[in-house]
Structure 1
Amino acid sequence: MPFTIDFLSDGRVLEWEATADGAVATERDNYTPRFYVAPRDPDADLDPTTLQSVYDQHPDVVATETVSRRPGFRQAEELVLAVDVAHIDRVTPLARQARQLSEYPVGDLACFNVDFSREFRYCLENGTDPTSASELSTLRLAVPMTETSNDIYGELTVGGDTVTGSPTDILTDVQAALDAHDPDVLVCSTSEIVPTLHEMATKAGVDDFSLSRWPDVDYQQLASRSTYANYGRVGHSPARYNIPGHAIIDESNTFFYGETNLDGVLDLVSRSKKPVQELAWASIGNVLTAIQICEAHNRGVLVPWHSWRHEFYKPMRTLHDADRGGFIFAPEVGLHENVHELDFSSLYPNIICTRNVSPDVIRCDCHSDREDVPGLGYSICDERGYLVDVLQPIINDRDEIKAAIRREKQQDDPDEDRLAELEGRSGALKWILVASFGYQGFSNAKFGRIECHEAINAFAREILLTAKQRLEAGGWRVVHGIVDSIWVTPDPEVDDEDRKDLETLATEITERVEIRLEHEAHYDWVAFVPQRESDAGALTKYFGKVAGEDDFKIRGIEARQHSTPQFIKDVQRDCLERLDATRSPDAVLDCLQNAIKRLHAGTVPVEQIVERNRISKPLEEYSQNTQNVAALKRARDQDLAVHPGQDIEYVVVDDEKSSRERVALAHEEIESYDASYYETQLVRAVESVLSPLGWDRSKIRRELAETQVLELTAFANTEDG
């Protein structure tokens, strides 16, 4: 089975299979990708022969035929025009021409199976499984930040070894590593390594250098770099390259490899039929869509190029009731002793499967008199929806993987490699399940439907309310609850002998709602943090001491945030240790005092106070002189390319300035830092720890000031004496 597929400019296709003796290529010269065209309205009076005659005359069309397919899950088979194309790069241009035909009114024609990625299309149309039967070998190539904008590298890491010297020296070392390792997968810190190395070889006259396993083709550019916005968050997509015979994983442009590992990637390869290289750069939604497309293909359903699903009619009252999310019980701000966390296992995906919530069966015509969705009155057909067939195997497999992880951890000598494999696969499947709910409300989803999104939320609200009622009736008090998790503590007004066992209650609730309620954790204590400018509890900011363990569970506060310097994270964790040991704000403040002294003494290592922030727009579009702007100016001065959507790392050296001297980039020689600035960040972090106990920033500052006055007084008295 091929692990990667290459498309040559002359139309030939190379299937690369990993073997014990290296990769083997199978050449194919008869592949013709296919897309479909049909009237958008099946009852429209449109003559397909006219369309067929136009395509038959096109030089990029190999053949056409009329076939029976289902244009949608809710539709029966009908005649559509299948168009076989000479080259994979010509599919989209040919599909666009269907919209430009003067014989048909604009919008009357629909195209299907158009915007598939190249390798995925090939696997889907040929029934090819891109899951390698042999273990894939890997080699990592990396360049430091200071080299990323250079046309010629002076330093490169190859398989963990740093090589320096002239271009010829570096190219020789890279070629030697390729020959020695013969990797199937090239893991690159940035995809720009590929063209840069080849350009270096050209300029240096090293004619025999090539990363490719196929003669005469060094590399191909698949896409240019771009910046995009997704739900208000700016992202950067680097250029993508292809090297024949290798799958490339670009560490700067991969979600699943970054969040899991190669085992997680390979698990999803087998489910989505997207080979390694495509899956590595794909988003969660992209992979989920691929899995759904595979299910549609198995059912003879075509995939629309552009979604045109209308929203079903709803009266105003239903619109009001449907426009709600999951249920939330506002957290009780403060520190609570003896707390248990209960979680519904994959709540939203399990709602889809146990309630049969799927775009093809929601609000069906055959059961329009039923009100299956609580509070909304939507009907759900008895016929099994396609989305259930997509998600149920993933849910089952993840449950089995999690059970295997528990068993492995219980061993006296756990196999760490086996654990890493299982955890990588579990993590990858978790992300697919997480996305399955939001996908239903995504306007550009191929098969989503807003009514499914609304129905899932409605079931979730009912389930959480049922759990709350059962737990309270059993003698437990709910201190927080959000969507699929509930935190409870023994109700002090209920005698211990009258309180129901929590495991028993969880089993009863599981049987009632048909989704497993699991005991996630027991905490010695949990603290819920208030909002910054309010006494109300922040929904996703809390921390707690796990009972019987030396660890804390932390959510939302600085120690979990991407941008927080490591020194501040460490101090905050030390403060949690003090709070756990003493329950005393004074002990926490002592920890803060010591950290502040280290800051002002200049003994904190610079690498421990590096900030990492995401750039949201080009330098020219910023109107305020922020720290990010100062860092961007320094990067520009050094010819370092930092694009919107990428991170930039720096140390604040003088926050009073507004120029580029305000910060220093992390790789620069840094002699000092702004201790007062980092003191402010420390106080903010300690406020998160003490705010559940009623301490805000101003109170912390007052206490620090009083302590400092006392220390100075004691020092003066000593001098007088």
Structure 2
Amino acid sequence: MGQFTIDFLDDGRVLEWEATADGAVATERDDYTPRFYVAARDPETDLDLTTLQSVYDQHPDIVATEMVARRPGFRRDEEPVLAVDVAHIDRVTPLARQARQLSDYPIGDIACFNVDFSREFRYCLETGVNPTPASELSSLRLSVPVTETSNDVYGELSVAGDTVTGSPTEILTAVKAALEEHNPDVLVCSTSEIIPTLYEMTTDADVDDFSLSRWPDVDYQQLASRSTYSSYGRVGHSPARYNVPGRAIIDESNTFFYGETNLDGVLDLVSRSKKPVQELVWASIGNVLTAIQICEAHDRSVLVPWNSWRHEFYKPMGTLHDADRGGFIFAPEVGLHENVHELDFSSLYPNIICTRNVSPDVIRCDCHSGRDDVPGLGYSICDDRGYLVDVLQPIIDARDEIKAAIRREKERNNPDEDRLAELEGRSGALKWILVACFGYQGFSNAKFGRIECHEAINAFAREILLTAKQRLEAGGWRVVHGIVDSIWVTPDPDIDDDDREDLETLATEITERVEIRLEHEAHYDWVAFVPQRESGAGALTKYFGKVAGDDEFKIRGIEARQRSTPPFIEDVQRDCLNRLDATQSPDAVLGRLERAIKELHSGAVGVEQLVERNRVSKPLEGYTQNTQNVAALKRARDQDLAVHPGQDIEYVVDDDEKISRDRVALSHEEIETYDASYYETELVQAVESVLSPLGWDRNDVRRELNGIRVVGITEWA
């Protein structure tokens, strides 16, 4: 138990590493043979796999074959399938590809299963190894500044928080000393390219026996080259991945869960997914969710398809129209609303899956085809418990327990901050899995997804939110906004206070009716819903509000929540919110804007407060317009800095009137000037977001700055 990382050597041996108080212990195995399966694609097909078996039995990369009973899908019973044991883990995919090429003749229409697993995950799944560390993992952080990232030799490197500069010998000596002192199980790197670069530096250094590895004769392995991908219309960058025997690598430029949570959150998911630390940190949410589903399938003797081929069930045109809808949305009432309460359904979509038994293996089952279980769609749901319920229910229960533990810890006189960080990391990691479970049902490449599940979940969600709306309105509350799983209400002015029902009582009643907990999320002194700039209709996800009895604001969608917004613009916008709350007057907001504009034009704003961060969507040659990103990419190229599509680039706008590379300056450069007029425009836009719920636009803001008129908030309420 507790093999936190698994290494695969070129000769076929496997190293299982277990963390101990004194370091790590490796166990060698030379008998591991990864396995994939071949079966008929169609369960109605009478397929003879003996021909393929005889071909494979002669193949030098195949150790053994056998016919075994497995389920090629959740909707299929056990049937004979061909199990293929492979000599080396790198040969699984090529051999499966050969089987697929033979599917037309003389074998028939076959499909391969359990093919495209990541290496360490496959090993843990097939051998029963638990990748959850039995003891605390030690770590060492290595970080390189952006100016060094394209250099073949580093002149500066941060080692365990200490900056080391100088020759390759000095830097490698410092790394070697830190390795000996910390003996880390985990190497946390700002970029994975640190690993090969350090080894390249050894040719110019006088350092004996430098190695990051815990295993003799193997310094490091390259697992994957860098690549660019597109997900939901957004370009992403995947850096090259490396492996150092005996140590898990966390690449801070290529990790979601470690960046969004912490190591405690990562380890919680390691225990649930059987993906060791190194593989889990670079995995996407969907990848980890799939791994948890694969573990459930494995326990049920269900094989995992290489490629998804599930057809969409037939449905008439009317059902297609009714099904092709998302969650229910009540258009927000633009403006500022006082005394607002926000109510949220706890983990609505995961709980719909579990309480309504929505799962790919039971939706539109043959045994209950005449039933109308899904509102408005006429889909049946089998009475047998779906596998997705068994996947998600433990996660829902665990997160509820963790959230309760967080509340208890915070209520203590002296909360344990380390304990709180652990709990919040675990809660955050589980939250992301629950967030993704719904959308992944409609993802075309999901191993076990089905579009009918996606449609059914939305149908239930619409019904639940409508039920809540109707009951709240009947109880004397007016709905001012609602979206998918959240609803905002304020006392209905046409109902006497004595006739209005208690909100907590109503929430309890709705909870009992829909079987999903409706929680009181927050009480606001006021909430402002922002209009769309194009039409003036309420923007669904742009609002801000003052939490009652607290100095806190809840902000969504406006500049202060956008990752590209410079710190100065964010700070001014937050100041404007404070002034709006304190004075109830746009005049105070405009006064803060006017002061900020003066600071800009006087040069009093530090350039580090004006840095913009934007994602690069394509190579430099792919841009046709001279945007700020293009100017920044040209400067980066001049400095031999590699910025790939999907990565961020940071810069300060120096002169927005120019179209050359002089339009901006990269954030690491020595910057002496900035374009005050450009940032003034950005400030006005940010203040427009604050005042637009009161009926103002940027032209009104400009006129007010010119001293035409000043009004109180009550005139626009």
- Same fold (TM > 0.5): yes
Tell me, in whole angstroms, the C-alpha distance in 1 between the residues paired with 2:107 and 2:647.
40
Structure 2 SS opposite 1:104: helix
Match of 1:432 in 2: 433
Q: Is the 8 A contact 2:47 2:107 kept in 1?
A: no
Give TM-score, length-normalised by structure 2: 0.98
Q: Is the 8 A contact 2:49 2:107 kept in 1?
A: no
Which amino acid letter does the alignment assign opposite residue 471 of structure 1?
A: L
Match of 2:635 in 1: 634
- Cα offset for 1:42? 3.1
Match of 1:262 in 2: 263
**Pairing 1:14–2:15 present:** yes
**Pairing 1:245–2:246 present:** yes
Match of 2:220 in 1: 219
Which amino acid letter does the alignment assign opposite residue 450 of structure 2?
A: R
Q: Is the 8 A contact 1:363 1:380 kept in 2?
A: yes
Which amino acid letter does the alignment assign opposite residue 190 of structure 1?
A: T
Match of 1:202 in 2: 203
Q: String of CA shifts for 1:110-148, please: whole Å, max 9, x gaps.
A: 000000000000000001110011000111100000000
Change (3 A) 1:103 1:449: closer
Q: Is the 8 A contact 1:653 1:672 kept in 2?
A: yes
Q: String of CA shifts for 1:416-467, please: whole Å, max 9, x gaps.
A: 1111111110000000000000010000000000000000000000000000
**Pairing 1:367–2:368 present:** yes
Structure 2 SS opposite 1:590: helix
Structure 1 SS opposite 2:563: coil
Match of 1:550 in 2: 551
What are the equivalent positions in structure 2 for 1:372-451 lying under 5 Å apart?
Answer: 372-451=373-452
Give TM-score, length-normalised by structure 1: 0.97
Q: Is the 8 A contact 2:48 2:107 kept in 1?
A: no
Q: Is the 8 A contact 2:344 2:520 kept in 1?
A: yes
Tell me, in whole angstroms, the C-alpha distance in 1 between the residues paired with 2:49 and 2:106.
14
Q: Is the 8 A contact 2:43 2:76 kept in 1?
A: no
- Cα offset for 1:38? 1.0
- Cα offset for 1:203? 3.3
Tell me, in whole angstroms, the C-alpha distance in 1 between the residues paired with 2:281 and 2:4.
13
Q: String of CA shifts for 1:170-201, please: whole Å, max 9, x gaps.
A: 00000000100001011100000000001101
Q: Is the 8 A contact 1:367 1:380 kept in 2?
A: yes
Which amino acid letter does the alignment assign opposite residue 94 of structure 2?
A: P
What are the equivalent positions in structure 2 for 1:51-66 lying under 5 Å apart?
Answer: 51-66=52-67
**Pairing 1:607–2:608 present:** yes
Q: String of CA shifts for 1:329-384, please: whole Å, max 9, x gaps.
A: 00000000000000000000000000000000000011011100000010000000
Tell me, in whole angstroms, the C-alpha distance in 1 between the residues paired with 2:591 and 2:130.
60
Tell me, in whole angstroms, the C-alpha distance in 2 between the residues paired with 1:163 and 1:98.
53
Which amino acid letter does the alignment assign opposite residue 551 of structure 1?
A: E
- Cα offset for 1:533? 1.5
Match of 1:236 in 2: 237
Tell me, in whole angstroms, the C-alpha distance in 1 between the residues paired with 2:548 and 2:129.
49
**Pairing 1:353–2:377 present:** no
Q: What are structure 1's unaligned runs of at least 5 residues?
A: 710-721
Match of 1:714 in 2: none
Change (3 A) 1:351 1:102: closer
Tell me, in whole angstroms, the C-alpha distance in 2 between the residues paired with 1:500 and 1:529.
29
- Cα offset for 1:103? 6.4
Q: Is the 8 A contact 1:99 1:106 kept in 2?
A: no
Change (3 A) 1:93 1:134: same
Structure 1 SS opposite 2:707: helix
- Cα offset for 1:47? 1.9
- Cα offset for 1:410? 1.1
Q: Is the 8 A contact 1:344 1:515 kept in 2?
A: yes
- Cα offset for 1:411? 1.3
What are the equivalent positions in structure 2 for 1:22-101 lying under 5 Å apart?
Answer: 22-101=23-102
- Cα offset for 1:107? 7.2
Q: Is the 8 A contact 2:441 2:450 kept in 1?
A: yes
Structure 1 SS opposite 2:235: strand
Tell me, in whole angstroms, the C-alpha distance in 1 between the residues paired with 2:386 and 2:17.
36
- Cα offset for 1:100? 1.9
Tell me, in whole angstroms, the C-alpha distance in 2 between the residues paired with 1:544 and 1:106.
65
Which amino acid letter does the alignment assign opposite residue 334 of structure 2?
A: V
What are the equivalent positions in structure 2 for 1:539-618 lying under 5 Å apart?
Answer: 539-618=540-619
Tell me, in whole angstroms, the C-alpha distance in 1 between the residues paired with 2:677 and 2:22.
60
Q: String of CA shifts for 1:13-67, please: whole Å, max 9, x gaps.
A: 0000001111000011110000001121233243211110000000000000000
What are the equivalent positions in structure 2 for 1:301-380 lying under 5 Å apart?
Answer: 301-380=302-381
Match of 1:152 in 2: 153
Which amino acid letter does the alignment assign opposite residue 466 of structure 1?
A: T
Tell me, in whole angstroms, the C-alpha distance in 1 between the residues paired with 2:534 and 2:303.
51
Change (3 A) 1:107 1:580: farther
- Cα offset for 1:256? 0.3
Q: String of CA shifts for 1:44-100, please: whole Å, max 9, x gaps.
A: 243211110000000000000000000000000000000000000000000000022
How many matched pairs?
A: 709
Structure 1 SS opposite 2:367: helix
- Cα offset for 1:414? 1.1
Which amino acid letter does the alignment assign opposite residue 37 of structure 2?
A: Y
- Cα offset for 1:240? 0.1
Q: What are structure 2's unaligned runs of at least 5 residues?
A: 711-717
Structure 2 SS opposite 1:414: coil
Structure 1 SS opposite 2:253: helix
Q: Is the 8 A contact 2:103 2:110 kept in 1?
A: no
- Cα offset for 1:535? 1.5
Tell me, in whole angstroms, the C-alpha distance in 1 between the residues paired with 2:669 and 2:292.
46
Q: Is the 8 A contact 2:23 2:183 kept in 1?
A: yes
Q: Is the 8 A contact 1:201 1:207 kept in 2?
A: no
Q: Is the 8 A contact 1:99 1:107 kept in 2?
A: no
Tell me, in whole angstroms, the C-alpha distance in 1 between the residues paired with 2:106 and 2:636.
53
Tell me, in whole angstroms, the C-alpha distance in 2 between the residues paired with 1:611 and 1:263.
31
Tell me, in whole angstroms, the C-alpha distance in 1 between the residues paired with 2:426 and 2:369.
41
- Cα offset for 1:413? 1.2
Change (3 A) 1:67 1:106: closer
- Cα offset for 1:583? 1.2
Match of 1:171 in 2: 172
Tell me, in whole angstroms, the C-alpha distance in 1 between the residues paired with 2:598 and 2:3.
60
Structure 1 SS opposite 2:418: helix
Identity %: 87
